[in-house]
Chain A
């Protein structure tokens, strides 16, 4: 542990000191706030950190093994509309006979650009390139690959705030989603003698914002705790689409019903993970996440883009 501690402190110090410009926030689009989702990604570049995301599930093996995943993700805006995120996932798999396999998966980075942020339509669109870097994890344990994977991805988020008055109860709904095409840098895995498929990686979330209900539609004077909740259902799927010779083109994934509690500086999310079929897992898993809003916690330092922020006084707000 001491070997890495100086590096971690150095990184933390650099992040704290490096950004000095002025800018805005996490995923606000007009009156809509899109929370960070647990299984998919929200449609905004942001200064945020998931610390940690923890999940437990049973694998699709027969008999199934227990799998723990613990991950950390850091997202940082470089400019107002361009951001980079970096994530590391540690996995432990316990077989029914007690055999343990553990280690890091490959390091994942994402480069994202905010294409659209339309306040009046509560619409956000984000284009990104996700890269899993080969040879950066525990390749010896089989938890990481020796090859990299590149996934061009499009993300979107749309609030239902434009619904007519007769459907005002539905305005707190929002839909987010992402579609990516995953391309491995190798087409054949010689160690396992299998083709490495290109895959469609996609998902969506349907969420109902109690904060939006309270501030935009009707204040029901509920206990404050409930006014911070966003019930959510996430869907995350993977489908092989090419270079999958000899293997079934089976879609795998999970449906994740859960809830996110949103505060001023952080959010906490908890979801069940229900496999969509036998190939996706055995039984119901669970995922939880503590997510920090760095732009709110450190508004004058880490919470601002590295470049391109305005140091001038904020503009006069007009309608």
Chain B
């Protein structure tokens, strides 16, 4: 019986959380994670499951030699982060991102994509 009352109380709390936010997971990317694209993309688009805080979210793209190939500061709107890319020769590129969702939860990750191989 104690568990039941405990459970009911907890569920009341849970249902009150109508406007909660959460960790921002990477929902999808373009170019896709781990994909090979025939032509060089002009920008990288990262879409997240939550809205982002622009001032505290960033991304970088490096080639196989570790040189930056992104155009710097990304543009962020709601849960989408975009960054322009330099002309990319065929090769493998690594994307590293860190984002802060609007409720101050941080998440990070990295992945690669390939151009023309």
Contacts and interface: CB of A to CB of B under 8 A. Distances in A.
Interface of A: 1, 4-5, 8-9, 11-12, 15-16, 22, 24-25, 28, 30-31, 49, 51-52, 70-72, 74, 88, 90, 104, 119, 168, 211, 214-219, 221, 264-265, 292-293, 295-300, 302, 314-319
Contacts of B26: 214-215
Q: Is the interface of A mostly helix, strand, loop or mixed?
A: mixed
7 tightest A-B contacts by CB?
A: A218-B34, A296-B22, A299-B103, A8-B9, A264-B22, A317-B98, A219-B33
A74 B9 CA distance: 13
B108 A31 contact: yes
Q: Which has the most chain A C-beta neighbours within 10 Å: B5, B49, B50? A: B5
A297 B106 contact: no
Interface of B: 1-14, 17, 20-23, 25-26, 28-29, 32-35, 49-50, 53, 55-58, 60, 96, 98-100, 103-111
Contacts of B29: 219
20 contacts: A1-B5, A4-B2, A8-B5, A8-B9, A12-B9, A15-B13, A49-B10, A51-B11, A72-B10, A214-B26, A215-B26, A216-B33, A216-B111, A219-B35, A293-B22, A296-B105, A299-B22, A299-B105, A302-B13, A319-B60
Q: Is the interface of B mostly helix, strand, loop or mixed?
A: mixed
A177 to B, nearest CB: 24
A49 B20 CA distance: 16
Nearest to A15: B13
